[in-house]
Amino acid sequence: MDKVTTQAHAHKEVAAAHKHAQSASAKAVTGSERVDPRERLIVALDFPSADKAMELVERLDGCCRWFKVGMELYYAAGNRVIEGLRERGYEVFLDLKLHDIPNTVAGAVRSVAGVGASLLTVHAGGGEPMMKAAVQAASTPGAPKLLAVTVLTSMDAAELRAVGVGAAHSSAANALHAQVLRLARLARAAGIEGLVCSAEEVEAVRAAVGPEAQLVVPGIRPAGAAGRRDDQRRVASATEAIARGASMLVVGRPIADAAHPAKVAAGILAEIAGVE
């Protein structure tokens, strides 16, 4: 039995308890309703193997209810890692950021629809027909809810302008803001209500799309780690992001790289609780 399978068995009882607790909770937090702060934290498992990912999962036991499986881990470990997380009772955000022609994206959505993830991302920049095809493909029972990624949090206004977006705008910052709002509206027109954006524009997006929309915000740096940006450009603390209208936060390296990940997670949960 490999490590993932062994750990999955050892966790069966814990998973049963988690599952019981989770069955009463919302699948994914949408607006600004009062919920357990752990429902708002998604920890990114950006690791090259399932074993490495599961080490962090073990160390965070009880601190969170959501894990994000992105391209690095999914391409390395596939569906097994999602199944392992589900067996332990966690909700899974499958962050594949699909972006291709509508037919191919629809096929990709169908391929992962039954694996047990609760959320799946597509790039809003793929256009309305692509997003509509994704929505159609995700209409089967048990399929994940779709989120549309607006402008990556790793891009700043100058980078966006360099790829040709907003060159006509007088200010690059305004262009970025306008592009996020444009993509948010496009996604909703295509039938995708949940969005991924940065804390810099979440307030404007919330105002544009209303209180019920699920707004997921990455690029979170805990209070006190303000100098740490890594490759991210549009960053904020958990307090700022929640206060501006985020539904859920994605945190990767600040937790994964910490000497005491559970301590950092607890600090972020306290920040979230402090806003509500």
19, 97, 145, 263: the catalytic one is 97
State which residue has the least CB distance to ligand C5P.
252
**Gap between the Cα atoms of 186 and 192, Å rounded:** 9
Tell the smallest beta-carbon distance from residue 137 to ligand C5P (Å): 21
Query: Cα–Cα distances in Å, from 249 out to 79, 99, 147, 171?
Result: 23, 22, 13, 28
Is residue 19 annotated as a catalytic residue, yes or no?
no
Please say whether the beta carbons of 93 and 101 come within 8 A: no
Helix/strand/coil (H, E, C) string of 176-245? HHHHHHHHHHHHHHCCCCEEECCCCCHHHHHHHHCCCCCEEECCECCCCCCCCCCCCCCCECHHHHHHCC
Tell the smallest beta-carbon distance from residue 238 to ligand C5P (Å): 11
Nearer to ligand C5P, 2 or 257 (CB): 257
Nearer to ligand C5P, 44 or 134 (CB): 44
Point out which residues bind ligand C5P (CB under 6 A): 44, 46, 68, 70, 95, 149, 152-153, 196, 218-219, 230, 232, 250-254
Tell the smallest beta-carbon distance from residue 68 to ligand C5P (Å): 6
**Gap between the Cα atoms of 9 and 87, Å rounded:** 8
Nearer to ligand C5P, 124 or 190 (CB): 124
Tell the smallest beta-carbon distance from residue 251 to ligand C5P (Å): 5
Helix (H) / strand (E) element for 110: namely: helix 102-112
Nearer to ligand C5P, 218 or 267 (CB): 218
Residues belonging to the active site = 97
